[in-house]
Structures are given as C-alpha cells and as structure tokens.
C-alpha cells in the first residue's frame, strides 16, 4: 500500500512516535479502507481492534532471545497466534521504509516489521510482499541504529528456509559490514546472529569462506558475547566436511590456544571444543582420500601440526568439572589420526 499524498510525512511521523505508533498504522489503514468501502464503524469496535493489534506486536522480542533464536516457550505461544499483523498493516510499514528518509520513522518501521516477523505466517507474508529486499536495503543506510534494527529484523526473517534462499544475495554485504563495524558493537553481534541462521544448512557456507580468518581473529579480540556469536557460525561451518580445508588453511592468531584454558567461560570453551572436534573428525575422513599442505601459521598447524601445547591444554581439560566439556575433549582425543 502506498501512502501517496494522503497523509503528509510529518503527520505520519507524529502518529508513529511513542507507544501509539502501532495504533497509528492501524488507524491509517482502517480509515483508508472505510473510505474505499463507504462503511462506518463504531468507536468501540475500532478501539477493540486497536488493542488487539497492540497486544499482538508489543509483547514480541525483536530478535529472539540472547541466542539469536526464539526460545521454545515463546515459540509455543506464537504458534497459537499465527496471524500477527495483517497484510495491509505490513504494506504500510514497508511503504514507510521505501518512502521516507526520516531516521526515527525508519527505525520504528523496522522494529514493527521485525516484531511481526516472529510469526511464521508473517515471515512468509513479508517475503511475498517483496519486503525482504526492502528491509535488507536498510543495511546500506548511513545511520548505525537503522542498520542494527535492519539486522534484528533479518534475524527473525532468516529463521525461514524460503527466506534464506532470497536473503543469500545479502551475505556478502553482511560480511562486509561485520568486517567494517566497530569491535564488540551491537551491529557486529546482530550481524553474526543473522549469519548463524543462514549457516544452519550447508547451502551458503561457500559464501562465507573468505571471512574465516576474520572470524578467528574475533575469537581472540572480542568480548565473550561476540566470541559466542562467532563460534555459533564456526561450529555450523565446521560440521560441513566440504569446508574442512578452508577452515584449517585459514591463518589463526597464536593466542588462539589460550581459549582452551579451563578458566575460559564455559559457553565459549564448550563451543571451541565442538568446533575442533568437528574439524578433527572431518580431517580423518579427508586424509583417507587426499593429502593437503598447510602453512605454518594455519589453524591446522596450530592444532594438529605440532600439537604439544594443544595436547597439554586437552589433558588439563580432561579434569574439568563440567561433563559436557570432558565429552568434547574425548571426541578430539579419540579421533586423532
């Protein structure tokens, strides 16, 4: 739906501001529909629908939980209420993203569409309305907060397999943003959440291989939150045997081995061990059919070339108090060539 000239931009911005923003979207669409159909509605009926619409959207998380996905309990609630925003409301929101350069309006529109994308039915509807590229184009915006909110919306939308196929063309842009963004920034975290969803299957792994050295660097330089988000992507990549050499050939910082210390946060340590265990298992498969030369500074040389230091770290971790950690260490040790 195009806003055209019926509602001036300043009026739209005013209506969208604050807690009444969603009611403004609802009111704009219902007023237009009333005019077209020549129908009149009672104030009580409009108020009831307004409250229903506010309830549908205001209680949702923009980008799921801290893991970057909607948790099980929330997913169950959402499954019982799949309607979310209606098509005409989403058309208004997408129209705002295309039709205005006002930063506050664009931010509110992205939050609204991101919230609605927590509903599976709306993930499909937004795609069918051509909204994926409209939202992804906001990644090109110069305003950092708009980029963050666009990433958050894409995070929810990329949990849909059909949407992933459409969004794959934006993977290079997301990777470029991640390399250029400030270390440990909100934008960096949001971008890796999108990549986590896009790397759940092997379909788009080949598009991320050039960024592997940057991912490994962030494991050393980033905060615990960034490390966890990066490792989610790396664990997904390491589960793909076809990417084993790409990962093992990548240059790794020498301080990479410090991440296997028993004092490292469990969430980071466990994923580090899963990452290496996947590589170890896949490397054994590759060695059956081919030999590969690895550079001295490669991840392979650090882990498996002259594994004295790494072996010492593994031996120490065998006495770790957490059973999951010890299980992953055992995977690495028992799969040694």
The CATH code of the domain that includes 85 is 1.25.10.10
Query: Is 140 within the bounds of a domain?
Result: yes
**Does residue 206 belong to any structural domain of this protein?**
no
Residue 114: strand, helix, or coil: helix
- Is residue 1 helix, strand or coil? coil
Asked whether residue 11 is assigned to any structural domain, the reply reads yes
State whether 14 and 148 are in the same domain.
Answer: yes
Supply the pLDDT for residue 86.
84
Do 224 and 162 have their domain in common?
A: no
pTM over 0.85? The answer is no
In a domain, 205, yes or no: no
Tally of structural domains, the chain: 2
Give domain status of residue 22, yes or no: yes
Q: From the centroid of its chain, how far is CA 288? A: 36
DSSP type of residue 298: B
The label of the residue with tokens 């509605």 reads 41
User: Is residue 204 a part of any domain in this protein?
Assistant: no
Same domain, 236 and 152: no
Residues 37 and 147 in one domain: yes
The pLDDT value recorded for residue 35 is 43
122/253 same-domain check:
no
220 lies in a domain?
yes
| Cβ atoms of 131 and 113 closer than 8 Å | yes
Residues 323 and 248 in one domain: yes
Same domain, 28 and 164: yes
Q: Outline where the chain has alpha helix (H).
A: 9-16, 21-37, 43-58, 72-80, 87-99, 103-116, 120-128, 131-136, 144-157, 161-167, 171-180, 186-198, 212-221, 224-238, 244-249, 266-289, 299-300, 308-317, 323-334
Indicate if 267 and 222 belong to the same structural domain: yes
* Same domain assignment for residues 33 and 171: yes
Range(s) of the domain holding residue 119: 1-198
Residues 263 and 157 in one domain: no
- Calpha distance 267→152 (Å, rounded): 22
Encode the chain (337 residues) as per-residue pLDDT tens digits: 444 444 444 444 443 443 344 444 444 444 444 444 444 444 445 444 433 443 444 344 433 333 333 333 333 222 323 345 788 889 989 999 999 999 999 999 999 999 999 888 999 999 999 999 999 999 999 999 999 999 999 999 999 999 999 999 999 999 999 999 999 999 999 999 999 999 999 999 999 999 999 999 999 999 999 999 999 999 999 999 999 999 999 999 989 999 999 999 999 999 999 999 999 999 888 765 556 788 888 999 999 887 678 999 999 999 999 999 999 999 999 866 5
């Amino acid at each position: 739906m195009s806003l055209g000239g019926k509602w001036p931009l300043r009026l739209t911005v005013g209506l969208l501001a604050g807690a009444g923003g969603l009611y403004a979207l609802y009111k704009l669409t219902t007023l237009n529909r009333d005019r077209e159909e020549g129908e009149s509605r009672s104030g009580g009926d409009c108020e009831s629908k307004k409250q229903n619409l506010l309830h549908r959207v205001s209680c949702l998380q923009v980008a799921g939980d801290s893991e970057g996905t909607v948790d099980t309990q929330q997913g169950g609630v959402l499954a019982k209420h799949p309607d979310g925003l209606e098509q005409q409301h989403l058309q208004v929101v997408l129209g705002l993203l295309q039709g205005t350069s006002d930063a506050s309006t664009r931010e509110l529109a992205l939050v609204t569409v991101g919230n609605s994308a927590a509903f599976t039915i709306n993930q499909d509807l937004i795609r069918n309305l051509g909204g994926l590229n409209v939202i992804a184009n906001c990644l090109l915006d110069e305003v950092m907060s708009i980029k963050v909110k666009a990433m958050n919306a894409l995070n929810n939308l990329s949990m849909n397999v059909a949407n992933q196929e459409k969004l794959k063309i934006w993977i290079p842009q997301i990777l470029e943003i991640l390399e250029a963004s400030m270390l440990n920034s909100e934008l960096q975290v949001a971008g890796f959440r999108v990549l986590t969803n896009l790397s759940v299957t092997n379909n788009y792994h080949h598009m991320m291989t050039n960024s592997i050295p940057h991912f490994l660097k962030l494991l050393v330089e980033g905060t615990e939150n960034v490390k966890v988000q990066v490792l989610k992507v790396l664990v997904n990549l390491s589960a793909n045997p076809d990417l084993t050499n790409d990962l093992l050939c990548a240059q790794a910082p020498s301080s990479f081995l410090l991440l296997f210390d028993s004092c490292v946060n469990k969430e980071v340590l466990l994923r580090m061990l899963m990452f290496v265990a996947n590589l170890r298992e896949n490397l054994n498969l590759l060695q059956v059919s081919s030999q590969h030369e690895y550079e001295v500074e490669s991840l392979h040389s650090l882990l498996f070339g002259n594994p004295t230091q790494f072996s010492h770290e593994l031996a120490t971790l065998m006495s770790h108090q957490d059973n999951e950690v010890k299980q992953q260490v055992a995977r690495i040790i028992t799969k040694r060539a």
